[in-house]
Each structure stands twice: as C-alpha cells, then as structure tokens.
Structure 1
C-alpha cells in the first residue's frame, strides 16, 4: 500500500504543515492586496510596499532566501518543499 499523495505527487504525512514557499506566497499575496487597497483608499505611496514585496520575491528566486523566508524558517520552523520530500 502506498502513502497518500497530494495532486502534485508529493507524499503527505498525517498532520503535515505547509512548506515555506506556500506560506511565502500567501504572505506576499496578502501584503500586495492590502497595499493596493491602501493605495486606492489612503495614499498612492502604499504602492511602494507592493514594489518591496516584488523585490523580495525576486531575491528569493535569485538567492533562495529573502528576509521573510529566513524569519519564517527560524521562528516557525518551516522547511522548503524540496527538503520536506527528502525525509
């Protein structure tokens, strides 16, 4: 009998947590939506927050880490998806 898998084929453990990348996408999307809403309703200067989120996403792609990923991996003990599948 094989272990249950996700739609992507990765194994799912009972009580498993989201991988680091998924949490980063959730946070980046939330901050982007909130900053656009604030730019529309308060001040256009909040679009700088959207630019900051985009720069951090580029940093994560280029280097493999960004400030948010380092904090989440240390404080919340989140692991990247590639390290989770090895175990």
Structure 2
C-alpha cells in the first residue's frame, strides 16, 4: 500500500468513525469529521499532511501526492 492510499483509508475511517460516534454516543462527535474534512482540504493546497508524515515514519512507501 502506498502512502497516498494509506492516508485516504485513514481519512475515510476517521470520517466514518465520527459519523458512528455522533449517532450513538454524542452529536458533537461530528466535529471530528469536520476537522478531518478541513485537514484534507488544506493538505490538497499545501501538501502538508500530518497523517502522511506519521505513515512515512512507520515505513509506508511513498506515493505520488505526498513526498
């Protein structure tokens, strides 16, 4: 799995987890999905992605988007 795919899988999992938590635990968990969405938007413009940095340190090989 490349770094790009790992970041996308992680972001999708965070959004889905947030939706589930907001439905079954407390509605304010939806703010986690908002944070994830805003982070994806800023990463698209700046190329800075903390999740990509973390996955890189874990040894995931580089993809095209995050170098």
TM-score tier by shorter-chain length is 0.7 to 0.9
RMSD value over aligned CA atoms?
1.8
- Tell which structure's C-alpha radius of gyration is larger: 1
Scaled by the length of structure 1, the TM-score of the pair is 0.67
Gaps of 5+ in 2: none
Aligned length, in residue pairs: 66
Gaps of 5+ in 1: 1-17
**Relative contact order higher in (CA < 8 Å, ≥ 6 apart):** 2
- CA distance in 2 between partners of 1:82 and 1:28 (Å): 15
Scaled by the length of structure 2, the TM-score of the pair is 0.84
- Three-state SS of the structure 1 residue aligned to 2:61 is coil
